[in-house]
Amino acid sequence: MNEIGVLGAGSFGTAIAQHAAAAGHPTRLWARRADQAHEMTAHRENRLYLPGVAFSELLEVTTDLDQLLDADPLVVAVPSHGFRAVLGELLARRKSRAPLTVVSATKGIEIESLARMSRVTQEEGERAATPVRFAVLSGPTFAAELARGMPSAAVVASTDEEVAAGLRHALATRTLRLYSSGDVVGVELAGTAKNVIAIAAGVLAGLGLGHNTMAALITRGLHEMTRLAVASGGDPETLRGLAGLGDLVLTCTGGLSRNRRVGLDLARGRTLAEIQGGTSEVAEGVRSSLALRRLAEERGVEMPIVEQMTAVMYEGKSPESALEYLMTRELKDEARL
């Protein structure tokens, strides 16, 4: 494998870069802010987003996109609202028009166009006259645990079977087991929707509700995710795997989940503006809820949990009222999609 490039020095981008470097791959990690890159270089760790994880000697940090022009594969781990701009700029700078493998580690949908990152990548590749081989990496992987070498498993999906298999073998280690998939649609939508369900899980926990309630939320949340994926051309089996159920359970129950923390704060009465103003981290579910609601409407899919979380965050609805609505909806057959 050539040198690996990672765009985005947040917690997960840093974790992926450290994992790849520790596995023996020369890796360059791009940080948007010069002060952050300087500090990471000086201390050989990301004290802001991933403190306590020492960098491998094979990991180099830079703010210069030109330093990643020869990297292949290129992992993009920036928030969904910045994905197009960052990837587009790198592709525009690239002198070579040779095919490039782009791996999305972003769990979100572009809110303006409702495009998944696979479509954004295709459009930017066409704009730069660069053939792009796309893959998406997703699954139940908290950055802090992945970077510290705790056993984890994830899925790498691509419509090109050789690309998925190649990345699976190249990036898998004794501490990260990778499975390949051809269902890009299912993996991308699962990774996006589970974040909104995790906000709801945080709300339930913040309201002091019990295991019965949480189990019901996770199960019905998975049903919503599956409905949307199937209506968009995804495979329901994907939603029962690591990228679906696995990631959903982790994000809904794990204390490291940023989206769950948003829900906890909402239950305590904090506004969305207050929550977002107090952190430098991005909880993708906050923006994704708006995109998912619109996408569900276009697909004719019911997603009541997503609808209620959007109402709580953006329309001033109380968490208690949202819960009451969900509990008093029309009774239906459980298996109906």
Q: Which residues are catalytic?
A: 194
Rounded to whole angstroms, what are the CA distances from 220 to 216, 226, 281, 284, 305? 6, 10, 28, 20, 8
The single residue listed with the structure tokens 């049903």 is 223
The single residue listed with the structure tokens 């906890």 is 264
Distance CA 11, CA 15 (A): 6
Q: Does residue 73 have a cis peptide bond before it, meaning omega lies within 30 degrees of 0?
A: yes
Q: Which amino acid is residue 207, in one-letter code?
A: L
- SS3 of residue 46 by DSSP: strand
**Short-list 147, 144, 67, 73, CA closest to 103:** 73
Spatial contact of 43 and 67, defined as CB atoms under 8 Å apart = no
Distance CA 243, CA 36 (A): 31
Tokens of 131: 């053939």
Tokens of 155: 């899925």
Q: Does residue 236 have a cis peptide bond before it, meaning omega lies within 30 degrees of 0?
A: no
Distance CA 77, CA 82 (A): 10
* Burial label, 42 (beta-carbon count in 10 A; 0-12, 13-18, 19+): exposed
Strands of the chain, DSSP E: 4-7, 27-30, 59-62, 74-76, 100-104, 109-110, 115-116, 132-138, 152-157, 176-181
Q: What is the DSSP letter of 50?
A: B
Backbone angles phi, psi at 155, to 5 degrees: -120, 140
